[in-house]
Amino acid sequence: MAAFLLEVADVSKVFGGLVALKSVSFAIEEGEVVGLIGPNGAGKSTLFEVVSGGMRPTGGTIRYQGEDITNLPAHLRRRAGMSRTFQKIRLFNNLTVEQNLAVAAMQSTPAGRTWKSEVQSALIRLRLTGLVDRKPSELTLADRKKVEIGRAIVGHCRMLMLDESLSGLTRDEADDLVGEILALNRDLGVTILVVEHVMPVVMAMARRLLVLDYGTIIANGLPAEVARNPDVITAYLGTKKGAT
């Protein structure tokens, strides 16, 4: 039986009188590619922040590699191999592509490996070797997203959390980036949790989908099963408004 890399148990998040997450529970096995979807305002961003350490939950428990990380700060989760990207790309605009990756690698490369080799490996894997001396302002959106992913995978990356990494891309660019992401899973065994609004792409990329609505998981299963789920259809096609 595969081991759970991430376990989220009865997690809630309350902002004043607003309940953004209500007793959310799910687990992700080592090596899975899981999509987190839901209508606008469902609580996806809040859940992503809580899991990655950007916010602390109001209640519940988060376990990673069997250890309780509920109150562990984000930078220590990164050192433990949990990396993430952001909806708004966070690059150092005054640094080159190679330097952007180097800063991340220096902070997260474990003993026994060199940060320089980690940078070179990421550049090759994401096909950025021809852009090493460019600054973010000189790159296309697709290449900036690749640099963001590169910063997440250098050093020690066991679980990669992608926050709308495909938004704003053309279909060809999205397909290309999906190929790069799935190669990380296939070749390196990186476990992937992806939040995405481009439904055809996430349905094809993820092997399992979690559906969030009103801060609650309403479906958890194979993409084909989730697409037929009446609760999911209602959540996406109904007229009700969600949380945050």
At residue 174, what are phi and psi to the nearest 5 degrees? -65, -45
Residues 128 and 120: their CA atoms lie apart, in Å, by 9
- Kindly report the average pLDDT of the chain as a whole number: 91
- Give the per-residue pLDDT at 218: 96
Q: 2: left (phi > 0), else alpha (psi -120 to 50), else beta?
A: beta
Contacting residues for 205 by C-beta, under 8 A, at least 6 apart: 33, 35, 178, 181, 182, 194, 196
82: its two tokens: 């949990």
Residues 60 and 111: their CA atoms lie apart, in Å, by 33
| pTM for this entry | 0.91
Contacting residues for 58 by C-beta, under 8 A, at least 6 apart: 12, 13, 14, 21
**Residue at token pair 């590169």:** 150
Whether residue 211 contacts residue 218, with contact meaning beta carbons closer than 8 Å, is answered with yes
- Give the per-residue pLDDT at 96: 97
Residues 24 and 108: their CA atoms lie apart, in Å, by 30
Angle subtended by helix axes 141-153 and 97-108, to nearest 10: 20
Across-strand partners of 151? Answer: none
Residues 99 and 93: their CA atoms lie apart, in Å, by 10
Q: How would you class 107 by CB atoms within 10 Å of its CB: exposed for 0-12, middle for 13-18, buried for 19 or more?
A: middle
Task: List, in sequence order, every beta strand (DSSP E) within the chain.
Answer: 4-15, 18-29, 33-37, 59-64, 67-68, 82-84, 159-163, 191-195, 208-213, 216-221
- Give the per-residue pLDDT at 237: 67
- Give the per-residue pLDDT at 91: 95
- Give the per-residue pLDDT at 98: 96
Residues 77 and 74: their CA atoms lie apart, in Å, by 5
- Give the per-residue pLDDT at 193: 97
Chain center to CA of 140: 21
**Residue at token pair 């009865």:** 10
- Give the per-residue pLDDT at 244: 43
Residues 186 and 189: their CA atoms lie apart, in Å, by 6
- Give the per-residue pLDDT at 194: 95
Residues 60 and 73: their CA atoms lie apart, in Å, by 16
Residue stretches of the chain with pLDDT short of 50 = 1, 239-244
- Give the per-residue pLDDT at 2: 53
